Amino acid sequence: MDVRDLLDQGVTRARDAVSSVAVETRPFVRALVRLCDDGWGQGWHERNGGNASYRLTDEDVRSCRACFHEQPRPWQPLDAAVPAMAGEHLLVTAAGSYFRNVADDPSRALGIVEVDGAGASWRPVWGFAGDGRPTSELASHVIIQGARKEATAGASRVVYHCHPVPVIALTFALPADGRTLTRALWKTMTECIMVFPGGVGAVPTAVPGSRRLADLTAEAARDHAAVIWAHHGLLATGATCDEAFGLAHVVVKAAAIYAEVRALCGGEPAFPLSDDDLAELARGLGVTPRADYLGWPAQRPGPAGAASAASSREG
Ligand code: 13P
Ligand code: ZN
């Protein structure tokens, strides 16, 4: 190798090191790193369990474009066409990355992908150091990001997938049906209905990383900010990492309470909150819950008032 090649190699390495650090210090990267670290701390990410993505703003892209790969990498098919995501950039976790390691080496555990003008292909533009690649659920993230972007007039930017024990356990006890799961969760804590008035969606058991899982989730995500994957985990979305993580946290806590009460009572809990109570809570908290999940007043007319009646076993 001649001196020129050595020099070029050194310059490339120095440039890579500088661009890693420059992007890693951007606030949007630090926010996703913190979400991963917090999820690890909660015990929701065994091994490489879970993945996450953040849809960059134009300002985010502008602020780190100078650090993107000098030589564009080849486009790769997404196995889906998502016009809503045309031209977007996503910061995503790498396939096989362990959430416990994200904070130690963000440019290895994360990377930025650019979606092409048709929303049908992607290419890496930063990160995934050491020949990494985006999560095996990349197609899911792009499809779900697109669905949430449309459902929230562009506000939703974060998709967070985790494997919390209480949520997975809940899908053994109750059917993978959004209405049933939502009602069980709403009735465990008075503030659930405020945090997710639209309820949670549900997807039956499906192969991780499969197109079927992505499509069913996108369908559920059109009118739910959180979706439970039977026997797999949870997907929570939001405008910010705080919002997505906070939503996941509340769903997990409610599921844990449900399990605890079920164990204490030796079976299906007799919920102290009736539909009337939920409706009154919603009024008091200033939210409009999803009417077909509340089933009030058509199903259960009756006097309002907190804890006015024990509800049915169906919840
Ligand atoms: P990845 O490591 O490919 O992101 O897979 C983790 C996971 O939880 C799949 O559902
Ligand atoms: Zn998973």
Dihedral sign for Cα atoms in the order 106, 120, 244, 262: negative
Mutate which of 90, 137, 140, 168 to test ligand 1's pocket (most atoms within 8 Å of Cβ)?
137
pLDDT at position 103 is 98
The Cα–Cα gap between 278 and 313 comes to 16
**pTM of the complete model:** 0.91
The Cα–Cα gap between 110 and 46 comes to 17
CB atoms within 10 A of CB 308: 15
Query: Judging by DSSP bridges, how do beta strands 158-162 and 89-93 pair with one another?
Result: unpaired
Inter-residue contact 68 to 112 (CB < 8 Å):
yes
Whole-number Å distance, alpha carbon 8 to ligand 1 midpoint, is: 36
| Dihedral class, residue 79 (left if φ above 0, else alpha if ψ from -120 to 50, else beta) | left
DSSP 131-155: T--B-TTHHHHHHHHHHHHHHTTT-
Q: Whose CA is nearest to atom 4 of ligand 1?
A: 135
3-class DSSP state for residue 274?
Answer: coil
End-to-end CA distance of the chain: 73
Question: Which pLDDT tens digits describe the chain residue by residue (315 residues)?
Answer: 777 777 777 777 777 777 888 899 999 999 999 999 999 999 999 999 999 999 999 999 999 999 999 998 999 999 889 999 999 999 999 999 999 999 999 999 999 999 999 999 999 999 999 999 999 999 999 999 999 999 999 999 999 999 999 999 999 999 999 999 999 999 999 999 999 999 999 999 999 999 999 999 999 999 999 999 999 999 999 999 999 999 999 999 999 999 999 999 988 888 889 999 999 999 999 999 999 999 744 444 433 433 333 333 334
Single out the catalytic residue among 137, 150, 260, 280.
137
Q: Give the contacts of 277 (CB within 8 A, at least 6 positions apart).
A: 304, 305, 306, 307, 308, 309
Closest atom of ligand 1 to CA, residue 161: 8
Closest atom of ligand 1 to CA, residue 96: 2
260 is catalytic: no
Which of 95, 85, 144, 91 shows the shortest CA–CA distance to 120?
85
Closest atom of ligand 1 to CA, residue 97: 2
Pocket flag, ligand 1, residue 208 (CB < 6 Å): yes
| Residues 78-117 as b or e (16 or more Cβ within 10 Å = b) | bebebebbeebbbbbbbbebbbbebeeebbbbbbbbbbbe
Mutate which of 45, 161, 210, 228 to test ligand 1's pocket (most atoms within 8 Å of Cβ)?
161
Query: From the CA of 234, which ligand is nearest?
Result: 2
Whole-number Å distance, alpha carbon 209 to ligand 2 midpoint, is: 8
The Cα–Cα gap between 233 and 163 comes to 4
pLDDT at position 21 is 84
pLDDT at position 313 is 34
The Cα–Cα gap between 137 and 152 comes to 22
